[in-house]
């Protein structure tokens, strides 16, 4: 089984589907001749041609709007936002049109919008956001947040197959930093099915995306002090695997939710509310959140580090819960 980076796995999944299904095409700024801002589509235009790897103008509204029309007509477009932050320009097409079309007319709208998200590289407030909770709130949209290379490939293929619009949040800080074995063959991973990253008995830790690795390091540290953490990687936040979380909380009786997004209205609040409503009698402590503060992402490296949840922040949260 070959070892791939997170970025290579995304590229491989996209290439597999474009070779398999001629309805799949890519559109975005610099995705063709340049090969994408992060080189996910490098060489794609040479293989598939300019009609299936389309260099679009600097107009996210036009990119997503054209994808909506093409999807309704039977195509399977994959749009690339150079940064997830810029998807706000296409909000109206995604939220008002694409998300409602299947409900309104029964028409499938199989769009995938790839959104390079997250901080950790001093990109500043316009290139580092994690907007997953904004779209998870919209009925009709699905939101995928893979953490591992194998999940990145399988979840992308599932997203392209899905008849609904999917926002695929690929974390930039994982692109070349994380490598693992990825099956060569085509495979899918169901949307809405969490993965148990590590098993434990004392505390349930729920997260997704790049924070899986922060959480895992924190869990390893507290394990040395006798605290056993069960780490759940949601993989998708819309739909999210509520049953997997509740089952774990029933076992451990304590829960911490971690995400890189800002605190107020972050998707962690939905998880906390669900645990409180549906597993209250299993709890031995209040459910805890570790998140970014309610502020824009700083540009300065030390300020960005203070903004993004770090291993020591998670360790402190786990120790507080263990001592409760």
Q: pLDDT tens-digit profile of 2-34?
A: 999 999 999 999 999 999 999 999 999 999 999
Contacts of 140 (CB under 8 A, 6+ apart): 98, 99, 100, 101, 102, 103, 164, 165
The verdict on pTM exceeding 0.95 is: yes
Residue limits of CATH 3.40.50.920 in the chain: 195-323
User: What confidence tier does 304 reach under pLDDT thresholds 50, 70, 90?
Assistant: very high
Does the annotation mark 127 as catalytic?
Answer: yes
| Contact residues for 320 (Cβ-Cβ < 8 A; gap 6+) | 288
pLDDT of residue 259: 98
CATH code given to domain 3-181: 3.40.50.970
Buried-state track 125-155, b at ≥16 Cβ within 10 A, e below 16: eebbbbbbbbbbebebbbbbbbbbbbbbbbb
Residue intervals of the chain classified under CATH 3.40.50.970 are 3-181
Distance CA 198, CA 206 (A): 11
**pLDDT, tens only, 57-81:** 999 999 999 999 999 999 999 999 9
> Are residues 14 and 78 in contact, defined by beta-carbon separation less than 8 angstroms?
yes
Collapse the DSSP code of 187 into the 3-class scheme (helix H, G, I; strand E, B; otherwise coil) and give the result: coil
- 16 closest CA partner among 159, 198, 169, 125: 159
Question: How far is 68 from 97, CA to CA, in rounded Å?
Answer: 8
User: How does pLDDT run across 124-161, given as a tens digit for each residue?
Assistant: 999 999 999 999 999 999 999 999 999 999 999 999 99
Residue in this structure with the two tokens 């998707």, named with its chain if needed: 267
CA–CA distance, 208 with 228 (Å, rounded to integer): 19
Q: Name the catalytic one among 93, 127, 197, 259.
A: 127
| 43 confidence band (pLDDT: 50, 70, 90) | very high
pLDDT tens column, 97-122: 999 999 999 999 999 999 999 999 99
For the CA atoms of 54, 57, 63, 69, the dihedral, rounded to the nearest 10 degrees, stands at -70
Q: Which helix (H) or strand (E) holds 114?
A: strand 112-117
Residues 6+ apart with CB under 8 A from 52: 18, 22, 24, 25, 26
**CA 109 – CA 76 distance, rounded (Å):** 8
The predicted structure's pLDDT at residue 295: 97
Label the pairing between strands 3-5 and 179-181. antiparallel
Which fold would CATH assign to domain 195-323? Rossmann fold (3.40.50)
pLDDT at 284: 97
């Amino acid at each position: 089984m070959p070892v791939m980076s997170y970025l290579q796995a995304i590229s491989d999944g996209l290439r597999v589907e474009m070779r398999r299904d001629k309805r799949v095409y890519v559109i975005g700024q610099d995705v063709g001749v340049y090969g994408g801002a992060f080189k996910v589509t490098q060489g794609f235009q040479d293989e598939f041609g300019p009609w299936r790897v389309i260099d679009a103008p600097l107009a996210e509204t036009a990119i997503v709007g054209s994808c909506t029309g093409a999807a309704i007509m039977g195509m399977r477009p994959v749009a690339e936002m150079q940064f997830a932050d810029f998807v706000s320009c296409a909000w109206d097409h995604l939220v008002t049109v694409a998300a409602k079309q299947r409900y309104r007319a029964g028409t499938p709208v199989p769009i995938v919008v790839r959104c390079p998200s997250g901080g950790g590289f001093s990109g500043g407030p316009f290139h580092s956001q994690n907007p997953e909770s904004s779209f998870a709130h919209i009925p009709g949209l699905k939101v995928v947040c893979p953490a591992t290379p194998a999940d990145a490939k399988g979840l992308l293929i599932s997203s392209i197959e899905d008849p609904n619009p999917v926002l695929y949040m690929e974390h930039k800080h994982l692109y070349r930093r994380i490598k693992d074995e990825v099956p060569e063959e085509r495979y899918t991973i169901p949307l809405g099915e969490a993965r148990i990253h590590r098993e434990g008995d004392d505390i349930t830790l729920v997260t997704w995306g790049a924070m899986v690795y922060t959480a895992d390091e924190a869990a390893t540290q507290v394990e040395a002090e006798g605290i056993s953490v069960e780490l759940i990687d949601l993989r998708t936040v819309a739909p999210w695997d509520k049953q997997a979380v509740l089952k774990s909380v029933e076992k451990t009786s304590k829960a911490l939710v971690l995400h890189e997004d800002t605190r107020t209205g972050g998707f962690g609040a939905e998880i906390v509310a669900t645990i409180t409503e549906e597993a209250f009698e299993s709890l031995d402590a209040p459910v805890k959140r570790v998140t970014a503060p309610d502020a824009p992402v700083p540009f300065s490296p030390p300020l960005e580090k203070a903004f993004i949840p770090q291993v020591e922040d998670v360790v402190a949260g786990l120790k507080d819960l263990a001592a409760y």
